[in-house]
Amino acid sequence: MENGQLNRLKAFLSSPKNIVIVPHRNPDGDAMGSTLALCQYFNSKNHKATVVAPNEYPEFLHWLPGSENVWLFDKQNNQSKRAINNSDIIFLLDFNALHRVGDDMAKTLEAYTNDFAMIDHHQQPDDVATYLYSDTSVCSTAQMVYHFLEMLEDTQSITKNIATCLYTGIMTDTGSFRFRSTTSTTHRIVADLIDKGAENDKIHNQVYDANSYNRLLLLGQALTNLKALPEYKTAFITLSDAEKKKYGYQKGDTEGVVNYALSLKGIIFAAIFIEDVEQKIIKISFRSKGSFSVNKFARAYFNGGGHDNASGGKSDVSLEETVAYFTSLLPNYKDELQQSYEE
């Protein structure tokens, strides 16, 4: 954050404030971990902070400390709107543009007249925040919240619960500390979070070893549908609505499934196409290794975006048509895909 902004924000926060903290729609581990950590930090400093999430987050994150006080904008609409309209400032965490909270909540935020602060690691943040801390090189928003507390010279106020939330955000957004964005700084921060009480083995168990039987069967179906196109170093997975229904799909069940496609030897570009009949879209996740930018790819063809190696988007046509369109694009990228990664 630019120094002038930081000083103004520090001055603003020097007296008790009503603060709302917002993650993106369909919040993931980083979105929930970073918002809950910041919320508990502010509440420990005599502010009145509340997390208002656009919609429900996965079951495997419900154990996170502070989770019981989260309001869901779509379900608890009146309380959520009241909290937003009564707040002195809104923190936007882990997203870069207001539309990422969904149309309905975006309207409420667009009408908001006090200031926004944004802490985020996605590319090209929209110009909405009076206080902007944007850094695309940082692995997770949770790590940025840690750096934000460093800027406030207050990491000593990190409690066990705050450390647990930050650890969860960093762990989930780095694929358990394995993606390229994981640096020695990340490991130093994680070490400090463990010193401050984060129980790393428990957190891993609660997030990754909490599968339902049906979720594993759905994963089996996804792997059965896996297609590899070695000439493009590409692999993709599809899941139809019927397949989701067959295995009692719950929110979060498909999280991370795309990484199985990327785990194939020689594959550097992976996608998953998931039919969503409610929203009438095909929701897509892209992942890559090396220099092939799935952020650019998702922006160019699928109305989406994200990071260079992890992005998402959507399509309005059928699952079959979406896959056909996707595969028709690959020849344009053959050389780039062949050259993009040294094994």
Q: Which does 30 bind (CB under 5 to 8 A by kind): ligand 5GP, Mn ion, none?
A: Mn ion
Position among 25, 196, 215, 307 found at the interface with ligand 5GP (CB under 6 A): 307
Give the x/- contact pattern for ligand 5GP in 270-289, rule: CB under 6 A: ---------------x----
Tokens representing 66 are: 């502070």
Strand partners, 283: 274, 314
151-156, long-range: CB < 8 A, 24+ apart: 151/1, 151/6, 152/10, 154/41, 155/192
Only segment of 149-157, 196-204, 222-230, 304-312 that touches ligand 5GP (CB under 6 A): 304-312
Beta bridge partners, 116, equal 90
Q: How far is the CB of 43 from ligand 5GP (least distance, A)?
A: 26
285 binds, among ligand 5GP, Mn ion, none (CB under 5 to 8 A by kind): ligand 5GP
Residues whose CB falls within 8 Å of the CB of residue 279, separated by 6 or more in sequence, listed in order:
none
**Among positions 311, 322, 326, 337, the unique one binding ligand 5GP when judged by CB under 6 A:** 311
Q: Is 169 in the site for ligand 5GP (CB under 6 A)?
A: no
CB of 110 to Mn ion, least distance (A): 23
Q: Nearer to ligand 5GP by C-beta: 9 or 282? A: 282
> In which residue are the tokens 């400090």 written?
192
Q: Per CB under 6 A, does 313 bind ligand 5GP?
A: yes
CB of 224 to ligand 5GP, least distance (A): 21
Q: 49 to each of 20, 37, 46, how far by Cα in Å?
A: 6, 11, 9
Q: Is residue 2 a contact partner of residue 14, using CB atoms and an 8 Å limit?
A: no
What tokens does 174 get?
Answer: 């780095």
Establish if 54 lies at the interface with ligand 5GP (CB under 6 A). Answer: no
Closest among 256, 238, 329, 257 to 292, alpha carbons compared: 329
Residue 195: is it exposed, middle or buried by C-beta count within 10 angstroms (0-12/13-18/19+)?
Answer: exposed
Instruction: Single out the segment in contact with ligand 5GP by CB under 6 A; choices: 139-147, 190-198, 306-314, 327-335.
Output: 306-314
**Residue whose CB is less far from ligand 5GP, 42 or 57:** 57
Nearer to Mn ion, 190 or 337 (CB): 190
Nearer to ligand 5GP by C-beta: 78 or 178?
178
- Looking at residues 93 to 132 of the shown chain, list those that interact with ligand 5GP (rule: CB under 6 A): 122
Rounded Cα–Cα distance for residues 33 and 161 (Å): 10
Residue among 119, 204, 200, 210 nearest 160 (CA): 200
| Residue 334 vs residues 79, 291, 325, 341: alpha-carbon distances, Å | 51, 14, 15, 13
Which 219-238 residues touch ligand 5GP, going by CB under 6 A?
none
Determine the interface stretch with ligand 5GP among 43-51, 112-120, 203-211, 299-307 (rule: CB under 6 A).
Answer: 299-307
Footprint of ligand 5GP (CB under 6 A): 24, 122, 285, 304-307, 310-314
